[in-house]
Amino acid sequence: MIEEYQTDTVEKIEQLAARAEAFLFAEGEPMAIGRLKKLLSCTDEELEGALQSLSNRREGSGMTLIRTTKEAALAVSPSCAPAIRAEIEKDLEREIGDAGLEVLAILLYRGPSTRSQIDYIRGVNTSTTLRTLLARGLTMRTENPNDSREYLYHPTAELLAHLGASDITKLPDYEKIIEELKAFEESKEKTL
């Protein structure tokens, strides 16, 4: 009977660890321990066991569990960090090019946009371009309040400072370009 109870407890902890890993991965940034506990519907003791199990499973892999007293997150493991850092540095050395300028123009003149909206306007996939712009601090992403499966991308204050604009509305031909962009999107919608 005791052995059966222990087996059930171990299975429950492993299931909680798997779900915790999924929530942390989906979040993509540190998550408050209290929020994780609520998402998992578990006790403090079960959460501690699940996080310890997750930490053990991640050992020796490309990802690790980072914990503080208030937060938990999945991150690149110390053994893989140099390779990731080198790749990011390559992205930063690369020019943003015409694709980057087009994406920045969309964000500046259209406003907060999802990747699919940007892809639609440009007619091509922009995931690599957005990653480069994020790494350079020219764009930021936030949760989309209308669809939790995607992010909204915004221009940063750093970008505006680089452009010498104190406000987006002070950009060249702001009103004219907004109207042209709206007309473009409306004409595309009519053809669908």
Question: Among residues 147, 163, 187, 148, which one has the least CA distance to residue 109?
Answer: 163
Domain endpoint, select from 23, 51, 76: 76
Looking at the structure, do residues 129 and 146 belong to the same domain, yes or no?
A: yes
Could you read off the pLDDT of 131-151 as tens digits, one per residue?
Answer: 889 888 899 999 889 888 889
Looking at the structure, do residues 94 and 180 belong to the same domain, yes or no?
A: yes
- Between CA 70 and CA 1 the distance in angstroms is 36
**Predicted pLDDT of residue 192:** 60
Per the structure block, which two tokens stand in for 62?
């490309």
Q: What is the largest CA-CA distance in the chain?
A: 76
Looking at the structure, do residues 96 and 146 belong to the same domain, yes or no?
A: yes
Looking at the structure, do residues 72 and 93 belong to the same domain, yes or no?
A: no
- The more confident residue out of 79 and 165 is 79
Total domain count, the chain: 2
CATH code for position 32: 1.10.10.10
Looking at the structure, do residues 49 and 94 belong to the same domain, yes or no?
A: no
- Between CA 166 and CA 178 the distance in angstroms is 18
- Between CA 155 and CA 50 the distance in angstroms is 38
Looking at the structure, do residues 65 and 101 belong to the same domain, yes or no?
A: no
Looking at the structure, do residues 29 and 91 belong to the same domain, yes or no?
A: no
- Between CA 156 and CA 176 the distance in angstroms is 22
Domain endpoint, select from 76, 100, 122: 76
**Are the C-beta atoms of residues 30 and 71 closer than 8 Å to each other?**
yes
Per the structure block, which two tokens stand in for 55?
């930490």
Looking at the structure, do residues 125 and 171 belong to the same domain, yes or no?
A: yes
**Predicted pLDDT of residue 50:** 95
Domain endpoint, select from 76, 108, 132: 76
Residue 23: give the domain boundaries: 2-76
The CB density around residue 158, as the number of other CB atoms within 10 Å, is: 13
Could you read off the pLDDT of 58-89 as tens digits, one per residue?
Answer: 998 999 998 988 999 998 888 888 888 887 67
Looking at the structure, do residues 99 and 158 belong to the same domain, yes or no?
A: yes
Looking at the structure, do residues 44 and 111 belong to the same domain, yes or no?
A: no
Could you read off the pLDDT of 112-131 as tens digits, one per residue?
Answer: 999 999 998 898 999 889 98
Looking at the structure, do residues 65 and 102 belong to the same domain, yes or no?
A: no
